[in-house]
C-alpha cells in the first residue's frame, strides 16, 4: 500500500490509522497545489481530483475520499478494531465520518484555510463552526472517543481539529472538544504521525519561502 499524502492535510488521518494497525505502508508526499508527486510525477495521473488522501491499494487500484479510505484500512486490518463490523454501530461510524468530512472539514475549515478565501467567506465559515462544535462538544462530554473505542473517525477528527490552531478557531470555548483533542493527540500512533508530518510541514513551508 502506498499513501499519497500532504503534511498535516486530511491524509494524516490515514497515516494514523495505518500506524494504529501496525500496517507496513509506503508514504509518498504530494504538493497538492502544484499537483506534483515528490518524484516529479503529475499527481493528476494518480487521481483526477488531485486531492489527498489517495491510497494505492495494489494492483494499480487507487482509492480516494477519506471516508472510503479510512474504512478500507479499518477493514483490511480487522485486528486493530478501528471500525465496528456492521449494523447500527457501523452506521454510527459512517455518521461521524460524514459529519467530520462535510460539516467540519469542508464547511468550516477549508474556507478558513484556503488562500483564495476572503473575509466574508471566513466569517461565514466561523459562524457555521459554532453549532458544529457545540454538537461535537455535547457528544464528547463524558466520552473518551466518538464511539465506544478509538476508531478511524477519531483519526479523522483529531486531524481536522488540528487545523483550529492555524485558523483562529479557539477550541477553549468548547472544553470537551479541547480535552478530547489533547487526549487523542497523546495517543502514541497520533503523536508519532503528527510529529513526523509537522517536521515535513515545516520543511515544505521553508522550501516555499525560499522559492
Ligand atoms: N472529498 C475529499 C476531499 C479531500 C481534500 O479536501 N483534500 C485536501 C487536503 S485536506 C486536498 O487535497 N486539497 C487540494 C485540492 O483540493 O486541490 C475527501 O473527503 O477525501
Q: What is the pLDDT along the chain (211 residues), one digit of tens a residue?
A: 999 999 999 999 999 999 999 999 999 999 999 999 999 999 999 999 999 999 999 988 999 999 999 999 999 999 999 999 999 999 999 999 999 999 999 999 999 999 999 999 999 999 999 999 999 999 999 999 999 999 999 999 999 999 999 999 999 999 999 999 999 999 999 999 999 999 999 999 888 888 7
User: Residue 177 contacts by C-beta under 8 Å, 6 or more apart in sequence?
Assistant: 133, 136, 137, 140, 161, 171
- What distance in angstroms lies between residue 51's CA and the mean position of ligand 1's atoms? 4
Ligand 1 atom closest to Cα of residue 35:
17
Give nearest CA residue, ligand 1 atom 6: 51
Q: Rounded distance, CA 102 to CA 109, Å?
A: 10
> Among 4, 6, 10, 29, which is best to mutate for testing ligand 1, by the most ligand atoms less than 8 A from CB?
10
* 178 touches 97 (CB < 8 A): no
Does this model's pTM top 0.95? My answer is: yes
CB of 111 closer than 6 A to ligand 1? no
Helix (H, G, I), strand (E, B) or coil at 4: strand
> Among 7, 42, 51, which is best to mutate for testing ligand 1, by the most ligand atoms less than 8 A from CB?
51
The cell for 141 is: 462530554
- What distance in angstroms lies between residue 101's CA and the mean position of ligand 1's atoms? 10
- What distance in angstroms lies between residue 142's CA and the mean position of ligand 1's atoms? 32
CB of 7 closer than 6 A to ligand 1? no
The cell for 143 is: 466520552
CA-to-CA separations, 104 to 55, 75, 131, 167, 211, in angstroms, rounded: 22, 24, 10, 13, 32
pLDDT, tens digit (0-9, with 9 covering 90-100), for 26-58: 999 999 999 999 999 999 999 999 999 999 999
Give nearest CA residue, ligand 1 atom 2: 65
Q: Rounded distance, CA 128 to CA 79, Å?
A: 37
Amino acid at each position: 500500500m502506498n499513501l499519497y499524502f500532504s503534511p498535516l492535510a486530511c491524509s494524516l488521518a490515514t497515516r494514523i490509522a495505518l500506524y494504529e494497525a501496525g500496517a507496513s505502508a509506503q508514504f509518498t508526499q504530494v504538493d497538492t497545489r502544484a499537483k506534483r508527486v515528490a518524484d516529479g510525477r503529475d499527481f493528476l495521473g494518480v487521481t483526477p481530483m488531485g486531492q489527498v488522501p489517495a491510497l494505492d491499494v495494489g494492483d494499480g487500484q487507487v482509492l480516494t475520499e477519506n471516508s472510503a479510505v479510512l474504512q478500507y484500512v479499518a477493514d483490511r486490518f480487522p485486528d486493530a478494531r478501528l471500525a465496528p463490523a456492521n449494523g447500527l454501530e457501523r452506521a454510527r461510524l459512517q455518521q461521524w465520518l460524514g459529519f467530520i468530512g462535510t460539516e467540519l472539514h469542508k464547511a468550516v475549515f477549508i474556507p478558513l484555510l484556503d488562500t483564495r478565501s476572503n473575509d466574508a467567506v471566513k466569517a461565514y465559515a466561523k459562524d457555521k463552526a459554532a453549532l458544529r462544535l457545540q454538537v461535537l462538544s455535547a457528544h464528547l462530554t463524558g466520552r473518551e472517543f466518538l464511539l465506544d473505542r478509538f476508531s478511524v473517525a477519531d483519526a479523522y477528527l483529531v486531524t481536522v481539529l488540528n487545523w483550529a490552531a492555524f485558523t483562529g478557531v479557539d477550541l477553549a470555548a468548547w472544553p470537551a472538544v479541547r480535552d478530547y483533542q489533547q487526549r487523542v493527540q497523546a495517543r502514541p500512533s497520533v503523536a508519532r504521525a503528527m510529529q513526523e508530518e509537522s517536521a515535513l510541514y515545516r520543511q515544505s513551508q521553508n522550501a516555499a519561502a525560499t522559492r
